[in-house]
Amino acid sequence: MKIVRYHEKGPPEVMKVEDAPTPEPGAGEVLFKIEACGISYGQTLQRGGRHYPVPITLPHAPGGSVAGVIEKVGEGVDKGLVGKRMFGRVAAGGYAEYGVGPAQGLIEIPDGVSSADVVACLSDGVTASLILNKVGQLAPGQSVFVPAAAGGLGFVAVQLAKLYGAGRVIGAASSEAKRQVVLALGADAVVDYTQEGWSAQVKEANGGEGVDLALEMTGGPVFYETLDAVKPGGRVVNYGNASDTDSPINPRVLLRKNLTLSGFMGGPYQVFAPQYRAEVLAFLKDGRLKAQHQTYSLEDAPKAHAAIENRTSTGRQILTPHG
């Protein structure tokens, strides 16, 4: 089979397609014929040797979240899974034609929903749902700000905020082309967060006041600008630190506006994941949630990583090993 590996950290071009034996599923495992594998920002950080909390050993075969047809099952696994299209995870090496992962936690893909659409939306959709509903406590009619709204989680969060009853959704994107994509997804307004003082654009788009709920995943100066974009009594949910920058909090900033600041990394909220997973799949099946993705061959994995790093990508970047 074909698999993407790199033997040293560096630019996207260190990734090469190599030949490897097709793996065999062990006890409790399944073999996927991989139709779609998601590419994450974290994988570009690992490959580039930049800050990422999960270490890797070299050579490394990236890729975790996959969707495809179950080709074989290992000992103790229901043989009825063979031939079914499922979403799950592989231990490593999702950038490949085949991959082995645990049978536990597999999710069957509904008829009429593509593997690429599921990879693009399901994991990020569950995360966005938990952030909006359980951490952010979104109430019907409230306003929401979504950063990087054309990105992998952002494009899902924009749509789900609307589906969950937000009165006004304001996104942020770095180019005019991306801002048009966000508007087409249903955002009420989109701001250019490359401009200094962009929080003023958020307030203007929200009738002159800050939003009720803001998502934040960058840290550093963007974090402080986000606090400014929230109304008194509003909430901010941080779910990342893409800038790898410490952001000390001045308590006066919070108390003067009665702001609530929360962090999200799953944890205890995962008990609600099955509920939102079912909702996201239903939204995909009936067309209320639209996937946004760009697909690449295994050979073009470096192009996909470069698109993420150059901020020219929209939606989720996905490898389709079998075309």
* Tens of pLDDT, residues 141-174: 999 999 999 998 999 999 999 999 999 999 999 9
Domains 2-114+292-319 and 120-269 share a fold: yes
**Residues in CB range of 135: below 8 A, 6 or more apart:** 237, 262, 264, 269
Mean pLDDT across 59-76: 97
| Stretch (H or E) spanning 33 | strand 29-39
Q: What is the pLDDT of residue 221?
A: 87
Mean pLDDT (the chain) is 95
Q: Residue 176 pLDDT > 80, yes or no?
A: yes
Domain residue ranges of the chain, discontinuous segments joined by +:
2-114+292-319, 120-269
Q: What is the pLDDT of residue 242?
A: 78
Q: What is the CA radius of gyration of the chain?
A: 20
Q: What is the pLDDT of residue 266?
A: 80
Q: What is the pLDDT of residue 220?
A: 86
Report the percent of the chain where pLDDT is more than 90: 87
Mean pLDDT across 82-92: 96
196's tokens: 């200094």
Query: Which residue has 């090993």 as its token pair?
Result: 321
Residue pLDDT, tens place only, 221-247? 889 999 999 999 999 999 988 777 887
Residue 197: pLDDT band with limits 50, 70, 90: very high
Residue pLDDT, tens place only, 2-14? 999 999 999 999 9
Mean pLDDT across 116-124: 96
DSSP H helical segments within the chain, as ranges?
41-48, 115-129, 154-163, 176-184, 199-205, 220-228, 251-257, 273-286, 301-309
Residue 92: pLDDT band with limits 50, 70, 90: confident
Superfamily of the domain at 2-114+292-319: Medium-chain alcohol dehydrogenases, catalytic domain (3.90.180.10)
Q: What is the pLDDT of residue 199?
A: 97
Residue pLDDT, tens place only, 267-291? 889 899 999 999 999 999 999 999 9
Q: Check: CB of residue 255 under 8 Å from CB of residue 233.
A: no
| Stretch (H or E) spanning 100 | strand 98-102
Q: Please give the sequence-ordered ranges of beta strands (E in DSSP) within 138-183, or none if there are none.
A: 143-146, 168-173
Mean pLDDT across 301-307: 97
**In this structure, which topology does domain 120-269 adopt according to CATH?**
Quinone Oxidoreductase; Chain A, domain 1 (3.90.180)
Residue 323: pLDDT band with limits 50, 70, 90: confident
Lowest mean pLDDT, pick from 85-99, 122-136, 143-157, 234-248: 234-248
Residue 54: pLDDT band with limits 50, 70, 90: confident
Residue 191: pLDDT band with limits 50, 70, 90: very high
For residue 295, which phi and psi values (nearest 5 degrees)? -110, 150
Q: What is the pLDDT of residue 10?
A: 97
**Residues in CB range of 23: below 8 A, 6 or more apart:** 31, 93, 98, 99, 100
Closest CA to 122 of 78, 84, 164, 66: 66
